[in-house]
Structure 1
Amino acid sequence: MAEKGKVCVTGAGGYVASWLVKLLLSKGYVVHGTIRNLGDKKYAHLKTLDKASENLKLFKADLLDYNSLRAAIEGCIGVFHVACPVPYEHMLSVALGTSMDLEEEVEKMEVEIIEPAVKGTQNVLQACLETTVKRVVFVSSDGAVLMNPNWPRDHVMDEACWSDKEYCSETKNWYCLAKTAAESKALEYAKETKLEVVTVCPSLVIGPMLQSTTNASSLVLIKVFTDGLDKLENIFRYLVDVRDVADALLLTYENPKADGRYICSSHTIRPRDLVEKLKKMYPHYNYPKKFSEVENEQKLSSEKLQKLGWSYRPLEQTLIDSVQSYQDAGVINNATLR
């Protein structure tokens, strides 16, 4: 079992990573956090976390710069690899089922998304193997699970289901391709080297924000509130609270029984039902006007993670806390939320 001590969190200033850092500090861990620019104000929230002044050290690091990662990981017994480039517009389009121009150049996607995800993961794992790291928790995505057209329609999608890389490429789902390639690389590396690696695959992450900038997954929910979209696909969406993701990451790090990959998803809901729920809570809003029905009855299962001891918040609580966070950050007009 990975003991308490010094751990590293890559991409520490991001949405999920910030909550993870907060949780780790509250549990008595000393945290090394990697960020891109030590002087960037968007990371200022990290320094305000409880116990940050004495137990959080930030390192400037780049996923493609092995030496910078090695410096941050040196002396740590655990690593949470959270950092990954996120293509905002593409992620919003996939999550909302809206149309956009997906004719990006493959070369551009290779450089901006796929290479940092895959090569960056390889660099992190190599640094872990060559130092004192005992366990690595890699944050993947349900995007590494869901994109599988050959999975039997009457079967629940569990950890045995992997997204088809060729299908991801054909449909230009670059984020899903990057996550699938990086996660599979991580587990292959673990098998080859005997390094302890556990992967966690969160679904669409919502909940309150700690950082000052709005992240892609939060924007999905904000757009449902404010954009007055003409139409949304009424297809199953899988949601999880960011705080529950942080709990899952710590659980899979600390629990000696944790092994392989874990799907991390709390709620399965169709957009029409989500909007109806939101309207009851916040009626004066610019919600989507119509929904197009799509056949999609497959479910995503977090049974393996729950058997490990994971639990999650009610969806209503997540929505309330999300809205409060958006209000506090000024990204939603308070006057419309009466």
Structure 2
Amino acid sequence: MIGEGKVVCVTGASGFIASWLVKFLLQRGYTVHATIRSLDDPKKTQHLLALDGAKERLSLFEASLLEEGSFESAVNGCQCVFHTASPVIFSVSDPKAQLLDPAVKGTLNVLKSAAKIPSLKRVILTSSIAAVICGVKPPEFGAVVDETWFSDPETCEQKELWYPLSKTLAEDAAVKFSNNNGLELVVINPGFVIGPVLQPTINITSKGFIGLIETGKEVFPDGIYRLVDVRDVAIAHILAFENPKANGRYIMVADVNHSSEIMKIINQNYPAFDYSERYKDNKYEGTPPFFVSRTRAESLGVKFTTVEVSIKDTVESLKERKLLSF
């Protein structure tokens, strides 16, 4: 197996993307050091310990983003760190404490620990499309968004877009630190991540997706979703480590869809849950206002799951957990 004899670290390992990342790394034969906030919380540990290969090749470490040096034992002996740990909160009362400090200082804490390990040369950072798309002006109609686009911190602050600001500042800090300290940094910028859930508690994007499905209430005011499957995002992280030529940023968005299109897909697969009333008066014509380039992601070897499959698998996963009423 490709990962046999290789040791890697995954921070924030109990999260939505990270849980799949740990699963796939174990499947490929890697030994995984996984960090979580509390080893005493079974909701954070049990689903990881139950994965195939976990008994032989998974070690859990307790670490806190804001505690300097707390990642040092976890990264010791590793060849790569997958830094996924960062808060995902869209409504905050104290942006600095709840989002900005954990994102920026936490990223630097992890990188400082990584830079001390001679065997560790590459860091894969989980950023976000939020660090790409929130510029001074929104994308023009028909524009193709790619990795050369960057969110503008001043615009984010003025508009109180605290989550995009946290991801933008953290990515910028990571690039500067890595350049100055001899680390190879590869950045993954996923869109709105959907797909089956491994962990027992659902994350904020899954909650947002449930809100759209159950009530028609959109997470995004314009109803535009930049969707990507969680399994594709996890695989992209691994490919970014395994491919020595991987560098820079990789946007992970399978497609840009309006909420009415998502509802149509659900209606086709679950006609008993009559969705036709939700979208029949929608004026949306079917052409997204902008596109997101898949070129770099596909050059990495990513084969995108179709949005139809991702949506169906998301709904099935949420139904299994009895989180949907149909």
Q: What TM-score do you get using the length of structure 2 for normalisation? A: 0.91
Q: Supply the distance in 1 between the matched residues of 2:167 and 2:311 (Cα, whole angstroms).
A: 27
Letter in 2 for 1:214: I
Unmatched 5+ stretches in structure 1: 91-103
Q: Does 1:30 align with 2:31?
A: yes
Q: Is the 8 A contact 1:226 1:285 kept in 2?
A: no
Question: SS of 2:98's equivalent?
Answer: helix
Q: What's 2:102 paired with?
A: 116
Q: Supply the distance in 2 between the matched residues of 1:120 and 1:297 (Cα, whole angstroms).
A: 35
- Of stretches 48-57 and 154-163 in structure 1, the one that deviates more from structure 2 is 154-163
Q: What's 2:318 paired with?
A: 326
Q: What's 1:12 paired with?
A: 13
From 203, 219, 225, the equivalent of 1:237 is 225
Q: What's 2:205 paired with?
A: 217
Q: Is the 8 A contact 1:235 1:296 kept in 2?
A: no
The 5 A counterparts of 1:182-193 are 182-193=170-181
CA RMSD in angstroms comes to: 2.3
From 253, 266, 279, the equivalent of 1:265 is 253
Q: Does 1:313 align with 2:299?
A: no
Count of matched residue pairs: 317
Q: What TM-score do you get using the length of structure 1 for normalisation? A: 0.88
Q: Is the 8 A contact 1:163 1:176 kept in 2?
A: yes
- Of stretches 213-222 and 248-257 in structure 1, the one that deviates more from structure 2 is 213-222
* CA 4–234 in structure 1, closer or farther in 2 if over 3 Å, else same: farther
Q: What's 2:289 paired with?
A: 297
- Of stretches 320-329 and 281-290 in structure 1, the one that deviates more from structure 2 is 281-290
Q: Does 1:130 align with 2:112?
A: no
From 79, 82, 97, the equivalent of 2:81 is 79
The 5 A counterparts of 1:278-293 are 278-285=266-273, 288=278, 291=282
Letter in 2 for 1:208: P
* CA 284–112 in structure 1, closer or farther in 2 if over 3 Å, else same: same
* CA 302–40 in structure 1, closer or farther in 2 if over 3 Å, else same: same
Letter in 1 for 2:39: L
Q: 1:234 Cα shift?
A: 4.9
* CA 67–178 in structure 1, closer or farther in 2 if over 3 Å, else same: same
Q: Supply the distance in 1 between the matched residues of 2:181 and 2:213 (Cα, whole angstroms).
A: 47
Q: 1:67 Cα shift?
A: 2.1
From 171, 176, 187, the equivalent of 1:199 is 187
The 5 A counterparts of 1:157-196 are 157-196=145-184
Q: 1:150 Cα shift?
A: 3.5
Identity of matched residues, %: 39
The 5 A counterparts of 1:245-264 are 245-264=233-252
* CA 276–130 in structure 1, closer or farther in 2 if over 3 Å, else same: same
Q: Supply the distance in 2 between the matched residues of 1:304 and 1:67 (Cα, whole angstroms).
A: 34
Q: Is the 8 A contact 1:42 1:212 kept in 2?
A: yes
Q: 1:86 Cα shift?
A: 1.3
Q: Is the 8 A contact 1:234 1:291 kept in 2?
A: no
Letter in 2 for 1:218: S
